[in-house]
Structure formats: structure tokens, C-alpha cells
Amino acid sequence: MVDLSKYKDIYVSEAKDHLQKLNDNLLALEKKKGGKDILNELMRSSHTIKGSSATMQYEKTAFLAHVMEDIFDYARNDMIKITPEIINKLFKAVDTLEKSVKSVSKKGKEFNCDRVSKEIKKISGVATEGVGKSKRGSDDTPVIKKSKKESSKKVASKNKKKGANKEIDNADNQLPEIEKITHIKVPVDRLDILMDLMEELLINKMKLSQISGESTKLKEISDQLSRLTSDIQHQVMQVRLVPVEQVFGRFPRMVRDLAKKKGKKIEFSMSGSDMELDRTIVDKLGEPLVHLLRNAVDHGIDESGKIKLDSRRENEFALISVENTGNSIDINKIKESAVRKGIVDDKEIRNFDKAAIADLIFNPRLSTKKKVTETSGRGVGLSVVKNFAEQIGGRVIVDPSLPQGGVRFTLELPLTLAIINALLVEVNGFTFAIPFSNINKSVSVSQENIKSMADQDVAIVGDDYIPLARLDKIFDITKKIEKEESSKDSKDDNLNKEHQRKKETVVIVRRGKDKAGIVVEKLLNEQEIIVKPLPPVLRGIKGSSGSTILGNGKTILIIDVVTLLEEKNKLLRIK
């Protein structure tokens, strides 16, 4: 059963907005401003409160809102006249709705609105029942109580004689309570500006930290500023978090429509939609998930089956998976298509294992469908998914054949893109940042434990064979060093030989089961860094996911562990 209490704050915030609209529009209606346009607005607000209250299972609140909705509907169809007495009752109904929403906010349960619902039904004559769709006649107009012989005008006159116009009881005579504001709406642009200022503050904190070593008092101030900055940073990051439900909400209808179009019976379910991610990630998440779901409908299920969309948090990553029952990925079809389209040659693919073959489905030129449809996803569609994951420092994991049949695609994504913890390392005088979330450990490896396999250096660490990545070769910085030292004498040859005999410092990084070792000269320190995207002209460079600015103003590259692992493990996966 779904826990609705976690949506309480959203419900309360939305209901308050519509209650204010009801008050404003009732005042306008009382002054005879706006006519049917005002009635339409009043009906929409009542309908929204009814729907959200019914969803949250606040039945009494939903019913009162439904009665009000019907009154405005009848009035715009000229079936009843909104008299001053009805206006008074409507204001009382709004007050009762406010009490109910306040009760939900403070106590977690609704206020009993039954008495007001009966009163307003009696004076208006509406035939409201339940919280579903209102009764309609053959001409699609609302049904009013036929047994009620008195018009609303007569009822009003009768009530007037009895003094029923004195409806405002002692509680209503009290001054209105001004409730404290607990939630506000903030434009996204302001949050982005706040994050930019936070990043500048972090850079200046790093600068102060570098110069504070010589002064005890300055170091004390620097440490205090560091703690305050961390607290502010945490709060700013929390403000930027939004639930993935904002994206997930559109998919049940989309899958339903696709299934109908394809003539398939698909049971679609979602879980974990309350998980929160950085707004910038959620903004970009929709398109790749659309491709994965369309792919599941088109390729994964023939006639009937299940599709599940799930999200969960695991350590420093968010895992969002799309799983379908039915068809698994046909490895033989992928091999045939890849060879036929010239993606790989026949001789090369014979040495691929299943994981290496499954990775080919992300190639935009690959398609296993003989007939192209508007929902076909493998190849072009899945390349979009992979590009999205890589751009934000994530990856796509494919389970091509589940034990119960079917396929699972999992997006492994960072929780935030803005500020991360990283290990700063040095290679040939150049500084690089390695995200801490990817680091397994750092070790010293002797030269006798470094072997060459398939043109790839591999370190033997315990029982593991770990492919090595040398940053000086990846970023071509050895040539610069060679040029600077070309004038040195032949003693360098002896130094080089000695260098070959010494131990290598290796930072072992991992994502899932894949591991790789990054060879470095020095481990500098741990640092909070600001992730800045590379300019478009440099985004094609493999090995780097972005850049950051240090306290001394120096710009350094952030190592892209995902692509590095893919490149280094590819050779080892090919038998």
C-alpha cells in the first residue's frame, strides 16, 4: 500500500493556493464581477481540491469541495442563481476547507466537514453524491434534485424569516488567525544564482586555507569558515533536490498509450519515485527514460507482459532501472547486425564475451529490427541513453537476460553534479582530481607485479588483475616532459632504469564489478571541488568529465572514471 503521508506537504501547499483563489473569486462573484469566467475559475479550484483530497483519502474534505464544484457548475449552466445566502454559505464552506487543510498539516487528519456539506446542499439544491463524476442528464447538463419543490430563492426567503441569515457563529466572529508561512515557492533561476555564489565561496575558502598555515589565528578563522561553508553548502544542495516523481508521473499514461497502439497488454508499475536528485539531473532524466520505456514496449514484450520502473539510492549513486518480462536480448542477432553494418568485423567479434556483445546495442548504427517503427529504440535510442549517462558522470548497466526472462537497463547516476569530494593527485607536475565516490583504495605495486596483457599493463593486486591507466599517456603529457629534459646528460638513462625498478603508486577505482588502476606520482590531498563542464570543443576528449578551479586559481581536469573503466576493461573482456 502506498504511503500517502509523504505527499502531505505538497497537498497542503497546493490546497492553500486554491483556497486563496476561492476566496478571491467569491469576493469578485459577490461584487458581480466576471460572470461565468469567475464561475469557471471557482469550479476549477474546487475540482482541484476535490481531486487531490480524494487522492490523499480525505473523503469528507473531497465531498465538500465536490458540492461546491457542483454549485458553480449549476450556476454557470443557469440552473441555480447564486444568492447572497448561498454566497455566505460558500464562504463558510471555504473556511471549513481551510480548517480541514490546517488539521491535515498539524495533526495529519482531516476536519469533519459533513455538517457544512449538508447545509450547502440543502440551500442550493444540488444532487451531489460521493467524490466521483457528478450526475449528468441526457443533454450533458448537471442533475438537480427533482423532489425539491422550493427554489433556492424560496429557500433563501424561508430561511430569512427564521433568522438563518445569522449564520456566522461565535467562532466566525473572531479575528481570522494569520498562519505562519512554512513553505514558499522560489524561481529556479534564484537557486542557480545561489549555487553559483556557493561555488565562489568555496573557491575563496580554499584560497584562505592555503595562506592560513603561517598564522594560528588565521587558521582558526579559516577552520570556522570551512565549517560554516560546509553547512551552507549542504543546505543549498538540499534545496536543489527534487523527487524523481516529477518525471515518473508522465510515464503510466505514455506506456498505456503505446501498449494500446501496439495491441499489447502491459502491466506497468513504478517504485521509489520519492527518491530525490539534483534538479539539473531530474531536468535531463526524462528523455533517456522515454527511450528505455519505448524500447521495452517495442522490443521487450510481444503480446503481454510487465514493465517496471524503479529508483533507489545505493551509496553515493542513484540507480534507476527499467525492467521488462518477456524477451531477453538476442546475442546472436546483435552479432549478426553488428557484422552486417560493419560496426565490427566477423573475426573480431568471435572473441567478444556476452557483456562486450551486449554493449554493442548502444551503437547508434545498430538495430535488430527488420522493420523500423517509430518506437524502435535499440541503437539510436539507446545511444541517447548512454550519452546522457556519460555526460553527467554516470553509466548504463545492461542485464541482457534475467533469470525469469526479460531485460533490465540500469542508469547509475551521481546524486549531484555541482560539488563533490575528490582526491587530488599529481603526474609529471600536472594535478588531476579523482572523484572520491569512485575510489576503492590506493596501493603501491612493485614492477614485478605489473604484467602486459593484450597491449595493456595489468597490476596484480592480491587475486585481482587490474588494468592500469597512465594519465601521462592518456593526456599526452610525457612529450612535454621529454622536451623539457632533452638537454640532460646520459645520467637520465640510469635514473629511468631505477624508475622502472621502483614501486608504482596506484589509485584503484571501481564502478560496479569493473576496476582499474590509475598510476600517479603523488597523492596530494582530499578536496571539495566544484564540477565545471568542459567547453563544447573539448567534450569529446575521453578520460575527463569536467574541470575545477583550485584555491590558487589553477584549473585542473576531473578524471572520468566511467569511460576510463570501459576502455581499460574492454581489452580484458575480449578473450
Q: Residue 189 has what DSSP assignment?
A: H
Tell me how crowded residue 490 is: count the other CB atoms within 10 A of its CB.
6
Q: pLDDT confidence of 319, banded at 50, 70, 90?
A: very high
Mean pLDDT along residues 507-524: 85
pLDDT at residue 372 in the model: 44
pLDDT at residue 94 in the model: 92
Mean pLDDT along residues 322-338: 84
Backbone angles phi, psi at 426, to 5 degrees: -125, 135
4-18, 146-160, 402-416: range with lowest mean pLDDT: 146-160
pLDDT at residue 335 in the model: 79
Closest by alpha carbon to 43, among 2, 5, 74, 20? Answer: 74
Q: Does the structure show a pLDDT above 60 at 74?
A: yes
Higher pLDDT, 5 or 257: 257
Q: Does the structure show a pLDDT above 60 at 493?
A: no
Domain locations in the chain as residue ranges: 4-173, 188-242, 247-414, 419-573
Mean pLDDT along residues 272-287: 87
pLDDT at residue 140 in the model: 59
Higher pLDDT, 539 or 371: 539
Mean pLDDT along residues 150-171: 44
Higher pLDDT, 419 or 559: 559
Q: Does the structure show a pLDDT above 70 at 574?
A: no
Closest by alpha carbon to 62, among 27, 108, 112? Answer: 112
C-alpha cell at 61: 474534505
Mean pLDDT along residues 446-471: 83
Query: Which CATH superfamily does the domain covering 419-573 fall into?
Result: CheA-289, Domain 4 (2.40.50.180)
1-5, 101-105, 339-343, 530-534: range with lowest mean pLDDT: 1-5
Q: pLDDT confidence of 432, banded at 50, 70, 90?
A: very high
Q: pLDDT confidence of 190, banded at 50, 70, 90?
A: confident
CATH (residue range 188-242): 1.10.287
pLDDT at residue 454 in the model: 65
Q: What is the mean pLDDT of the chain?
A: 79
C-alpha cell at 470: 597512465
12-21, 36-45, 455-464, 476-485: range with lowest mean pLDDT: 476-485
In CATH terms, 4-173 corresponds, of 3.30.200.100, 3.40.50.2300, 1.10.275.10, 1.20.120.160, to: 1.20.120.160
247-414 is classed CATH 3.30.565.10:
yes
Mean pLDDT along residues 299-306: 89
Mean pLDDT along residues 86-110: 90
Q: Is 442 exposed, middle or buried (0-12, 13-18, 19+ CB in 10 A)?
A: middle
pLDDT at residue 161 in the model: 45
Residues 439 and 424 sit within 8 Å (Cβ to Cβ)? no
Residues 398 and 361 sit within 8 Å (Cβ to Cβ)? yes
